[in-house]
Amino acid sequence: MNIPNDPMMLLSFINTKLRDDYKDFPTLCYELELDESAVTDKLASIDYSYNKELNRFV
């Protein structure tokens, strides 16, 4: 899947998908065939990390 390259746009995209379509981040990555660590690293570059309890990057 083609996902946004800009970290802020990626954050919005991932959090929207998590809110609307997926029960957790690993499932989102599996179903969209995304590299979980690459997405996590990109969002960490803008000081965001996945919060399992909230099911979003904060």
Half-sphere exposure of 31 (CA within 13 A, CB side): 11
pTM over 0.85: yes
Contact at 8 Å (CB) between 56 and 15?
yes
**Mean confidence (pLDDT) of the chain:** 97
Q: Mean per-residue pLDDT for 20-25?
A: 98
* Nearest CA among 24, 23, 25, 47 for reference residue 36: 25
- 1 band by pLDDT with thresholds 50, 70 and 90: confident
User: Cα–Cα distance between 54 and 3 in angstroms, integer?
Assistant: 22
User: Cα–Cα distance between 55 and 19 in angstroms, integer?
Assistant: 7
